Amino acid sequence: MSHPAAEPDIIPGSPLTVFTEEEELFRQTVASFANEQVRPLVAEMDRDQKINPGIIKQCFEMGLMGIEIPEAYGGSGGSFFMACLAVEELSRVDPSVGVIVDVQNTLVANAFLNFASEEQKKTYLPRLASEWVGAYALSEASSGSDAFALTTKAEDKGDHWLLNGRKLWITNALEAGVFIVFATVDPSAGYKGITAFIVERGFPGFSVGKKEHKLGIRASSTCELLFDNCEVPKANVLGDIGKGYKIAIMTLNEGRIGIGAQMVGLSRGSLECGIAYAKERVQFGKPIASFQGLQFQIARCAADVESARLLVYNAARLRDAGKPFLTEAAIAKLLSSEVAERVSSQVVEFYGGYGYTSDYPAEKYFRDSKIGKIYEGTSNMQLGTIAKQVIGDL
């Protein structure tokens, strides 16, 4: 995948007005890593549908896989906001790399930090911070938006649990060493039977199945998980039995902010490449960026991106401050995914015929954008959440 000769310009907006000195230094460090180490491999990883192992190794070495994990457990001891910054800057270059770091931090590590026992934290957090990719296994063929209609069952065998069933569309599954798996211990109890289990890759009866071939974020693995009398130790129940739905609700609310950060990064990266191309592409004797019609389109895209960016930042700040953020997270996820699709589509048109080819990055950003409206709660689910909050009781 070729890129414009000039390094893409950063879109308007002064990060220092919303970042602390520590956050800005962190952001710059991640941005440099993304530009220097990730960018040269983007086309290859997309073509091969696999993340380069060296990139994952560097993410661990830089502390990006355990940003919120306290230093006492081997993590970086950072904030949720910083995790979102990392996801944004990585996704600006490759949303596939961004989502690996996103799932690791906003879903898996957060679930351990908020619900694991001290013994579980000592066992798993250091490995998540240093060597193990994590995955979050909730979705099934019959339970997408209806998340708690799952059929994977957990049977109490006295000294261990037996899991049977199948999970679909599990991000990070190919690389993961540990999985948070949701199963029901009592189907008749509905959502109150849902329990979360910590499943290691080597547990008997567990296997990773088919890898999906996707439209976008192709380097990010998405696979099915198979449980055939999978033996899980009693000590590996995460949280309380029958309370898995609480873990799912809380982590997904936080995860939506992370997906918002991914979509903002994607939008920024797409627009920056589009602007650089518009400055270089000459038609009718001058750069196409000099035509007012295109300038207005660029301006509209820049306004959309900055609006989505601030929505995501606001939701992340609220979460770090311990304040309610349910509505803000839903709004940020809804609008940032819409902006990503709209901006990346517009940028394809900036490139004209070249935008429809893989010679330039526009078509990949466009392909990658579509997932934003689908995973971690579809746009309709976000609208439902927002409506309930703003309308209130009827």
Q: Is 376 a catalytic residue?
A: yes
Residue 129 Cα to chain centre, angstroms: 17
| Structure token pair of residue 26 | 């962190």
Q: Do the beta carbons of residue 256 and residue 332 sit within 8 Å?
A: yes
Q: Do the beta carbons of residue 75 and residue 69 sit within 8 Å?
A: yes
- 72, HSE (Cβ side, Cα atoms, 13 Å): 4
CA distance 171 to 358: 24
Q: Do the beta carbons of residue 260 and residue 338 sit within 8 Å?
A: no
Give me the DSSP letters along 212-235: P--SS-TTS-EEEEEEEEEEEEGG
CA distance 125 to 81: 19
Sign of the dihedral defined by the CA atoms of residues 139, 107, 15, 94, in that order: negative
Q: Do the beta carbons of residue 111 and residue 251 sit within 8 Å?
A: yes
Neighbours of 81 (CB within 10 A): 26
Check 89, 254, 328, 376 and give the catalytic one. Answer: 376
Active site positions, annotated: 376
